[in-house]
Each structure stands twice: as C-alpha cells, then as structure tokens.
Amino acid sequence: MASFPAELKYTKDHEWARIDGNRVKVGITQHAVDQLGDITLVNLDAKVGARLEVGKAFGTVESVKAVSDLYAPLSGTIVEINKSLDANPELINESPYDKGWMVVIEISGTADDLLDVAAYTAHVEAG
C-alpha cells in the first residue's frame, strides 16, 4: 500500500490537490499510477484560461493498461499547464506528486469537499 503525502488533499477519483492560497496544483495519486501502469500519454482537453467545474473531466491519461479520465477536484480557472508532460508523460510515473503535476487552478469556492490523507487512505484501502 502506497503512503500519501499528508499535506495534500484528495478526491475519490484519485486526484491530489496541493493548495496554496487560491491556487491549487493538481495531479494523480501514486495509487492511480499503480493501477494504470506506465503512463504513455497525457491529453489535457482544457487550456490556460479555461473554466473547470468540480467533478467534470478536463483530460485523460493513457497507459499500457487503460485510458482514464482526469476530473477537476475544484472549480476554477486553469492558470498553468505542465507542458513537460507533452514530451515526458512518464514524469507522472516517476514523480506523481512533484514533476508529474498536470494543471494549476485558480479556485473559486472552497476545498471543503476534498479528502484529507486519512480519509483518502481509508477510501483506497476499502477498494
């Protein structure tokens, strides 16, 4: 069982959120990476300036096993995209919480519905 960084917030869809004021850096968890296998492509449908709604898909990740949707953990506007993933999607496998981040969202609203590390760990363990 993977351990998850305590300073992050999580969704039941296995995205993580690093909150810094009104900006949130988003990626997928180590658990998601483990389930997907080697990531081969990241397709972010949304662009900088696009408005995201919590729970709505904003792209996909493709792996040797499957294609999986990426869901916005919070509502807001994309202010930055990790362009490194275009040429190096394997950064997600190597460093899902650091170099493998996907987007930065300037949020509108709160992060109250996100899970803390204990709740996310329990969710993963419940399978």
pTM over 0.75: yes
Domain borders along the chain are 9-122
Mean pLDDT, 10 residues at a time, the chain of 127 residues: 88 96 96 94 93 94 93 95 95 96 92 92 93
CATH fold of 9-122: OB fold (Dihydrolipoamide Acetyltransferase, E2P) (2.40.50)
- DSSP codes joined into one string, 66-84: -EEEEE-SS-EEEEEE-TH
Per-residue pLDDT, 109:
78
Query: Which class for 52: exposed (0-12), middle (13-18), buried (19 or more C-beta within 10 A)?
Result: buried
Per-residue pLDDT, 68:
94
Per-residue pLDDT, 45:
86
Per-residue pLDDT, 2:
67
